[in-house]
Amino acid sequence: MVLRTDKDTRAHVKRSFFGALWHGAFLALGTALTQPSTVINAFIADLTGSTSWVGGLSTVLSIASTIPQLFVARWIEPRPRKKPLLLVAIYLRTLSWGTLAWLIFFIGAAHPMLLAWTLVGLLAIFSIGGGLGGVPYTHIIGRVIPPDKRGAFFGGRQALSGPLAIGAALLAQRVLTDLPYPNNYALLFGLAALSLFIASVGFWIIPEEPEKHAKKQVSPWTEYLQQLRTTTRQMKGLIAVQVLTGFSLMALPFYIVYARQELGAPASAIGWFTLVQVVGGTLANLLWARLVDRFSSWHMVTTCAIISALTPLLAIALSPLGWKGMLPILFLTGATANGRTVGFPSALLEIAPPAELPTYTAVNTILALPIGFLPMGAGIFLHYLSYPALFALASLGTGIGAWLSSRYAIRSTAKIELET
């Protein structure tokens, strides 16, 4: 048996930190090239001209990324190594983007509905890959990033990815403006595939030592179901806040559609919307990291939720300015979307026992699944009512979530004061 010195431990943490940041940076680059709330939604709207398709696609992607996680968690929890499955998931996502890019070039604009269904199928595969990778990713990060560095990691990951993401957004704006449709989208998806491939290098850098578990085999379903019930009770507050604040995501896919259909935004505006959204997320990262490490995850989530609740109301107020009035809205959605990726994973890592982190991750994703149906409901909603009515509903639900989150933030402060 080889004993690890403090120096070896610090080197291990630094290497893991660097690898995780590398992955996060290039993953963000690929995401900026294909922002779901701008590029993908604009593409599907151009193909079909239907808000139901926009909302339905968001729901399909949410379900496809959620369903595999519970089965993956049960299977992977007792296994000593989690990284191989994560790498398989990353390369599955890379392949789906690359195939989609090739098919867009091959099919062209002559068969829009064939292209739309191809998009749905390959994005579903992309999301399934995300579902397979989400469980081992959270577990590995929970192991290699110390608790007192998690706020710095989640915020630093976003801050480091910012320059790459801004550059990617600028590139996306030029590609969408200068290249003919649909080849402009094909190039973006191809570049996203390359970015994900480069991002995978980060997890090859992270050393994963075998874990020692009390369990030597996969738990029987009867035993695992009892574990799931216990986990659910421990997570009910976190889930309730996620679902309620998820009403902000109900409106998110439709800001770009609203700007195109109601406010007269030209095709070139999609690139500007993407850029502004990425800039908003980048600038907000230092605030989110500071709130997590200085106060608590709940304080950070509450701040993010309040901004998210006000954003749809601001969209209504700024609509007389035309499509340019949506620029600050996209800025705020970028900031709050990144806030969710900092606050909720940090809160999950605070409450989950390390040995059961895969199960906590899967339960968190499954119970938050109703969020995925909100965009589809919004698409149907828009057949009967207006965009301002949708935005008002999103603000109301998110506001209730912000209030509930503030109650947990108060309890978190009281607990810290009691412990000190």
3-state secondary structure of 50: coil
Ranges 82-86, 124-128, 411-415: which has the least confidence: 411-415
pLDDT in tens, 353-380: 877 877 888 888 788 878 877 877 887 8
Residue of 56, 87, 300 lying closest to 205 (CA atoms): 87
- pLDDT recorded at residue 212: 62
Radius of gyration of the chain (CA): 21
Q: Which tops the pLDDT comparison, 82 or 255?
A: 255
pLDDT tier, 6 (very low <50, low <70, confident <90, very high otherwise): low
* pLDDT at position 392 over 90: yes
pLDDT at residue number 302: 94
Q: Which residues contact 86 (CB under 8 A, 6 or more apart)?
A: 133, 136, 137, 140, 203
Does residue 395 have a pLDDT over 90? yes
User: How many Å separate Cα 308 from the centre of its chain?
Assistant: 15
Whether residue 54 has pLDDT greater than 70 = no
Q: Are residues 342 and 292 in contact, defined by beta-carbon separation less than 8 angstroms? A: yes
Predicted pLDDT of residue 394: 93
What mean pLDDT comes out for the span 176-201?
88
Q: Do 41 and 177 form a contact (C-beta atoms < 8 A)?
A: no
Question: Are 326 and 259 a contacting pair, CB within 8 Å?
Answer: yes
Structure token digits, residue 321:
């300015």
Instruction: Please give the residue that has the higher pLDDT: either 406 or 34.
Output: 406
pLDDT in tens, 323-341: 999 999 999 998 998 888 8
Report the alpha-carbon distance of residue 105 to residue 187 in Å, rounded: 9
Helix, strand, or coil here: 146? coil
pLDDT for 399: 95
Structure confidence at residue 163 as a pLDDT band (50, 70, 90) = confident
DSSP state of 39: I
The string over 2-20, giving b where at least 16 C-beta atoms fall within 10 Å of a residue's C-beta and e elsewhere, is eeeeeeeeeeeeeebbebb
Q: 349-383 burial, b if ≥16 CB within 10 A, otherwise e?
A: beebeeebbbbbbbbbbbbbbebbbbbbebbebbe
Distance CA 375, CA 357 (A): 29
Global pTM? 0.66
User: What is the residue-wise DSSP string for 68-136?
Assistant: HHHHHHHHHTT-S--HHHHHHHHHHHHHHHHHHHHHHHHHTTS-HHHHHHHHHHHHHHHHHHHHHHHHH
The per-residue pLDDT for 49 is 65
Cα–Cα distance, 136 to 77 (Å, whole number)? 9
Domains of the chain: 9-207+219-419 (1.20.1250.20)
* Statement: residue 158 has pLDDT above 70: no
Average pLDDT of the residues in 282-300: 82
Residue 55 pLDDT level (bands cut at 50, 70, 90): low
